[in-house]
Structure 1
Amino acid sequence: MPVVNRIADYARDMTAWRQHLHRIPELGLDCPKTSGFVAEKLRAFGVDELHEGIARTGIVAIINGRGDGPTIGLRADMDGLPIREATGLDYASDHEGCMHACGHDGHTTMLLGAARYLAETRNFAGRVALIFQPAEEAGGGAEVMVQEGIMDRFDISEVYALHNAPGFGEGGFYTTPGPIMAAVDTFHVHIQGVGGHGAMPHETRDPVMAACGIAQAFQTIVSRNHYALDDLVVSVTQIHAGTVDNVIPDTAYLNGTIRTFDPAVQKMVMGRMEQIVAGQAASYGVEARLDYDIGYPATINDPDRTRFAAAVAAEISGEHRVVREAGREMGAEDFSYMLQARPGAYLFLGQGESAGLHHPEYNFNDQVAPIGASFFARLVETAQPAA
């Protein structure tokens, strides 16, 4: 079963919606223009309930089907990134220093397309809850929405989401049962030394050398402290120190990211970082403090729901275009909080060759929006067939 004909009929409208959203990217929980546009469309489609102001600018819309049944949740993220756009498009971002570099404009459009179709046809039992979420990139909007009670308030029994995938065949899908994306943590190391003249290092306690020592020692956590077949990433991504060539500064700062799947590995990393920071500080005669921030948990697909969602994807795009055991990757996703609250699945939708995610030249492929909308629609109709 290919793209739903009715959804194909308004593909041009979906392109217009997406390109409008692309012009107005917003950050974090503060997505009032995006949320306002989404709410306007949902009202026009005739949804039965529209609940705004969840997680500040998030929305949950309810569409009732034909007859009794459970409520299935479909989620799209809405926020952009603090990146200066370099696409040169005539619909490029109007918000300086902010752009849709991860395709959330496309995700929102796909769910709007499904909403229009489902509100029009209602060829399903029970209800569908359309979840438009802010702050996926930073701020954990999914966690906020769960904490504000959307799963219980709207009696959601299972939940699904899509993410576009540059470099994967246009219109194809991939997913995997169980863990699919990693937990993400952040570390900060603040070093206090004694500065001085660059020509007289013996009169200082150099925080730059301590920062270099800590950064190098952190890499031994991956190479020497964990089992090689357990997925783990420790990346130092920032080192800041000093201002001029002939002055040894008195402070330095390190920052980076940790990606894990196993809580035991996460705990080991935290312990080793504390030991390394304390040991290196003593070695270099400086003071150092580690701040370890636990972030999004691992995204873990329910195996049964994943197999079901992959079967629906195969009906849309063909069995040969669906990879059901794609394996896991080290990116992170706050949809993990929704999957902790309810069983469900997270899938990727190929958008063909393009700039990568979070790149200033990235742009969502409008050709795949009807495919994603059709997936969402058929998922509901298949999971909850009308009596």
Structure 2
Amino acid sequence: MKGFFAQHQEQFTALRRELHKHPELGFEEFVTAKTVQNTLTQLDIPFTTGIGHTGIVATITGKLPDNGRRIGLRADMDALPLQEKSNHQHRSQIDGCMHACGHDGHTTILIAVAHYLAQHRDFAGTIYLVFQPAEEGRGGGDQMVKDGLFTQFPMDEIYGLHNWPYLAAGKIAVLDGPAMAAGDRLSITVKGKGGHGGATPHLTIDPIRIAAQLITALHSIVSREIAASEQAVLSLCAIESGDLEAFNVIPDTAQINGTVRTFQPEVQDRMEQAIRRVCAGIATTFGAEIIVNYERIIPATVNDLACAQFARDTIERVFPQGTLDRETPATLGGEDFSFMLNQCPGAYLFLGSARHPNDEPLHSPNFDFNDEVIGIGAELLTSIALNAVSQTK
């Protein structure tokens, strides 16, 4: 298997770089989806489109007598609304859009798996390749589930991976339980009463002063209401109020936006309750109206314990000693593979991709997927799928 992917490394690298040049945002992955469809057609692998708008599910059936096992492998296809700053030859050709998270690499890895399985069908059961749109905050995983992913394609287990530039290239980490956090969106509107900042500030209800109090108070919730062992993050990332040219005008409103990250539902509940309580208290204190819009966007990505152990066992059988990393912690980043894991047992793996300790992080305008790990990722997913599909129910 390793030799197969090494033999086709140049082909897969060229494909990945072509995808990188043509990034597309969530639910707009028309060129990317067409590339996937054309490849599957050439490989004589049947597929279904329209699962999650631009999503694709390929079906690879083994040639041995069917044992009833059904295993899924998933990759995401979308890019980010970010202007690329790199100067390599395959840099994004689309202004304001780039593959800054490596989904071009994930898609290429799953296409590489398709190439291998198309030529090696000496297994029983069925392997589904799930090409997901709109992972970056637009709910593509949720939409695929709602469109019948697991009713049209029942699966015993499903696996996915993410390139991880915080881990040395070639290393692989598989966590038990929570691997990535729930991602919530917080939007707070402070409604006060504007007026003259010099002559009559006492007649106003200053939303900027209130917003300042809110920022300080909200940022104390995690440190004083959540145990350090429970892990939570609250970040207020944007504030907008008034006009910089109107230096003596107190505005009517202020807007604060941010995010909350947690692993456990009960901690998520406590965070929302505390935010609402603090906002209500400050509104009463200053005589303002504060509107809190708290949206639970992405649930935590929680690995099934048996599937995580199965993946680790496979890694230790297939890859050289030392490949499996046992030190990588769960991350408070979000991942909407969680919607799939909420419906089907499975595991999400971290594939080390760092070339050096100071590699560009995910979502950096200078990020570029490390093509040297395409074969490792493809061998990883293929090995897990073939081992899993051969298990007795």
TM-score above 0.5: yes
1:58 paired residue number: 55
Distance change >3 Å, CA 386–CA 214, structure 1 → 2: closer
Shift of residue 308 of structure 1?
Answer: 1.2
Superposed CA offset, 1:278-332 (max 9, x none): 1111222221100010111111101111111122223443231212463322111
TM-score w.r.t. length of structure 2: 0.95
State the SS of the aligned residue for 1:341: coil
Distance change >3 Å, CA 331–CA 207, structure 1 → 2: same
Is 1:100 paired with 2:63? no
CA distance in 2, matches of 1:153, 1:302: 22
State the SS of the aligned residue for 2:56: strand
Q: Structure 1 unaligned segments of length 5 or more: list them.
A: none
Shift of residue 203 of structure 1?
Answer: 2.4
Shift of residue 232 of structure 1?
Answer: 0.8
1:372 to 362, 371, 377: 377
336-345 vs 320-329, which deviates more? 320-329
Is 1:342 paired with 2:339? no
Superposed CA offset, 1:209-233 (max 9, x none): 1111111111221122222321111
Superposed CA offset, 1:256-278 (max 9, x none): 11111121111111111111111
Q: Given that residues 171 and 317 in structure 1 are in contact (C-alpha distance below 8 angstroms), is that contact kept between their aligned partners in structure 2?
A: no
State the SS of the aligned residue for 1:342: coil
1:68 paired residue number: 66
303-312 vs 157-166, which deviates more? 303-312
Question: How large is the RMSD of aligned CA atoms in angstroms?
Answer: 1.5
2:133 paired residue number: 134
2:238 paired residue number: 238
CA distance in 2, matches of 1:112, 1:39: 10
What is the number of residues matched between the two proteins? 384
CA distance in 2, matches of 1:60, 1:42: 10
Q: Given that residues 23 and 91 in structure 1 are in contact (C-alpha distance below 8 angstroms), is that contact kept between their aligned partners in structure 2?
A: yes
1:383 to 382, 385, 388: 388
Shift of residue 67 of structure 1?
Answer: 2.1
CA distance in 1, matches of 2:227, 2:250: 39
1:3-14 alignment, distance < 5 Å = 4-14=2-12
Q: Aligned partner of 1:36: which letter? A: K
1:318-333 alignment, distance < 5 Å = 318-324=320-326, 326-333=328-335
CA distance in 2, matches of 1:67, 1:270: 52
Q: Given that residues 176 and 325 in structure 1 are in contact (C-alpha distance below 8 angstroms), is that contact kept between their aligned partners in structure 2?
A: no
Superposed CA offset, 1:22-45 (max 9, x none): 011111112111100111011111
Distance change >3 Å, CA 375–CA 147, structure 1 → 2: same
CA distance in 2, matches of 1:358, 1:26: 15
Distance change >3 Å, CA 62–CA 124, structure 1 → 2: same
1:1-387 alignment, distance < 5 Å = 4-47=2-45, 49-65=46-62, 66-69=64-67, 70-200=69-199, 201-244=201-244, 245-324=247-326, 326-352=328-354, 353=356, 354-385=359-390
323-332 vs 77-86, which deviates more? 323-332
Q: Aligned partner of 2:276: which letter? A: E
Q: Structure 2 unaligned segments of length 5 or more: list them.
A: none
264-273 vs 133-142, which deviates more? 264-273
Shift of residue 62 of structure 1?
Answer: 0.3
Q: Given that residues 196 and 250 in structure 2 are in contact (C-alpha distance below 8 angstroms), is that contact kept between their aligned partners in structure 1?
A: yes
TM-score w.r.t. length of structure 1: 0.96
Q: Given that residues 137 and 297 in structure 2 are in contact (C-alpha distance below 8 angstroms), is that contact kept between their aligned partners in structure 1?
A: no
Q: Given that residues 73 and 160 in structure 2 are in contact (C-alpha distance below 8 angstroms), is that contact kept between their aligned partners in structure 1?
A: yes
CA distance in 2, matches of 1:277, 1:130: 46
Superposed CA offset, 1:70-122 (max 9, x none): 11000000000000001112111111100000000000000000111001111
Shift of residue 381 of structure 1?
Answer: 2.0
CA distance in 2, matches of 1:207, 1:62: 56
Q: Given that residues 67 and 386 in structure 1 are in contact (C-alpha distance below 8 angstroms), is that contact kept between their aligned partners in structure 2?
A: no
